[in-house]
Amino acid sequence: MREQYNTIAFTPSVAAEQERYGSRMAYARRAGPQDGSDPGGMGRDEVDFLAQQDGFYLATVSETGWPYVQYRGGPPGFLKVLGPTTLGWADFRGNRQYISVGNVAGNARASIIVMDYARRARIKFFGTLTVDDVRDDQTRADALRVPGYKGIVERAVRFDVAAFDWNCPQHITQRYSEDQIAKGVARLYARIEALEAEVAALKS
């Protein structure tokens, strides 16, 4: 599926720009099969990576041709790997504009980019979306729900992966969440407490 990503992404116009800037030959050697057959799917690396992430960017296209990019967030692991070629998530209530949902009603094709800023890693997907209102299919929503998370689930979303690829870490600025920082400094706090105890003992 990683090779198939290039087959989908490298349209004639893209290939022309690669030729212009000198990268076409290198990418042509990595092209996937032209008949759409590309066996395989997500493996352990992808499953482990996605289980640790708390958000991703979702791109859809409206019936008027305008692209729309939306950030979807939740607790780590809310983006679930349901199978080698399937992702899913519980879609929580947000600002209630429903732009992505409306776009998918007219064009199911979408793209996802999942970022790990701390490790400077990212993976991108092409695929198609299926959106089910929880009022119509409570079972699927329950299967995707995150225990303990207070977000209101309005939809169950399935993403059928057509292709995926890992991006290089170039130009990704490292950033850390509050939880990641807390875990990183926990040892420092423990060391400070130990030293303060030693100082107190010496003073006494």
pLDDT at 181: 92
Are residue 8 and residue 62 in the same domain, yes or no? no
User: pLDDT below 50 — which residues of the chain?
Assistant: 36
Our count of domains for the chain comes to 3
pLDDT at 31: 62
Range of the domain at 145: 40-173
Burial call 157-194: b when 16+ CB within 10 Å, e when fewer = bbbbbbbbbeeeeeebeeeeeeeeeeeeeeeeeeeeee
Are residue 152 and residue 193 in the same domain, yes or no? no
CATH number at residue 84: 2.30.110.10
Are residue 117 and residue 50 in the same domain, yes or no? yes
Are residue 131 and residue 75 in the same domain, yes or no? yes
Are residue 167 and residue 74 in the same domain, yes or no? yes
Distance CA 169, CA 115 (A): 10
Are residue 10 and residue 75 in the same domain, yes or no? no
pLDDT at 35: 53
pLDDT at 138: 80
